[in-house]
Structure 1
Amino acid sequence: MTPPFQIDPAAVAACSATTKAQILSDLANCFASAYHVDAAQVLAGLVEREELGSTGFGRGIAIPHARLAGTDRAIGAILRLKTPVPFDAADQLPVELVVGLLSPCHSGADHLHALAAISRLLRDDAMRERLLSAPDNQAVYALLIGGNDRDAA
């Protein structure tokens, strides 16, 4: 499996946030650190999108996303939460895994295709469980880029 976005190993992190706002801030900082984008601009985009409706996907997953000026490709970041956090998901379950996506401003259908691919990936119960139970960030990264699932989980 290849992710529908570029992912840097530095964009996979553990997160100890306890609120939705902290999660979005930590996600913006993760993007900034891994991809050298402006954290404030990322956070503003994520918050603006979240105000349209929760990106809480359900089943313990959130997929915050935004379009970002200055990017030339879709980029992703993953946060594994140390404790589940309420995220206004449709099923009202707190989130444990956050998959962030940033796409170029004019990405059009590519952004939607990437979101759909992430959704399909995370609807797979076995993959979701492997991502949640992976022993460390490197194992999560290996799962995402199609590394040896046996060694990663």
Structure 2
Amino acid sequence: MQLSSILKPEAIKVVTAVSSKKRLFQEIADLAQTAYGLNSEATLDALLERESLGPTGVGHGVALPHARLPGLDRVVGAFVLLEKALDFGAIDRQPVDIAFALFAPEEAGVEHLKALALVSRTLREPSFCSKLRSNPDATKLYALLTESHPVQAA
């Protein structure tokens, strides 16, 4: 599996600033609606419900919000780069400026976990995240995210 199989160019956005985690999730839900035709309200609700189980901020300024949604036939993703980092309640208490959201079919099992592992491995590399942060342009971000680059096993 590669990021290009779960991410479309239309599912990437650079956001100047958001005031809360809920506003970030709204941006992600709107992006998912535009790119994949997902219902924005249902997507927002699913993200908030998953987040209520525990924060999806994995550290080093990265968050991996995810949710299962009815009507999907495969795992899809949305990427947001924040120009101003947001307090996210991440495990290392660092603010988040990179959010890669994943949406999976309700019945997805291994495919969802493989996609989550792929995104996690990709974004835990500090030098790669630095490249993303220094390229606040959706087209460049898509190219960086989808180019083949070696990632270490989880």
Shared fold (TM-score greater than 0.5)? yes
Unpaired runs of 5+ in structure 1?
149-153
> Distance in 2 between the 1:137 and 1:55 partners?
23
Instruction: Kindly state the Cα deviation for residue 4 of structure 1 after the two structures are TM-superposed.
Output: 7.1
The answer to whether the 8 Å contact 1:5/1:114 transfers is no
Counterpart of 1:41 in structure 2 is 42
Counterpart of 2:7 in structure 1 is 7
Fraction of identical pairs, as percent: 37
Q: 1:121 to 1:78 in 2, by over 3 A?
A: same
Q: 1:42 to 1:48 in 2, by over 3 A?
A: same
Counterpart of 2:152 in structure 1 is none
Of 63-72 and 108-117, deviating more is 108-117
Counterpart of 2:135 in structure 1 is 134
Q: 1:4 to 1:101 in 2, by over 3 A?
A: farther
SS at match of 2:2: coil
Alignment of 1:28-107 (within 5 A): 28-107=29-108
The answer to whether the 8 Å contact 2:81/2:136 transfers is no
> Distance in 2 between the 1:103 and 1:133 partners?
29
Instruction: Kindly state the Cα deviation for residue 135 of structure 1 after the two structures are TM-superposed.
Output: 4.1
SS at match of 1:79: strand
Q: 1:3 to 1:91 in 2, by over 3 A?
A: same
The answer to whether the 8 Å contact 1:5/1:76 transfers is no
Counterpart of 1:151 in structure 2 is none
> Distance in 1 between the 2:42 and 2:7 partners?
19
Root-mean-square deviation (CA, aligned residues, Å) is: 1.7
Q: Deviations over 1:30-60 (max 9, x none)?
A: 1011111100111111001000000011100
Q: Deviations over 1:78-109 (max 9, x none)?
A: 11112010000000000011101001111112
Unpaired runs of 5+ in structure 2?
150-154
The answer to whether the 8 Å contact 1:18/1:83 transfers is no
TM-score between both structures, scaled by the size of structure 1: 0.91
Moved over 3 A (4+): none
Instruction: Kindly state the Cα deviation for residue 18 of structure 1 after the two structures are TM-superposed.
Output: 2.0
Q: 1:4 to 1:84 in 2, by over 3 A?
A: same
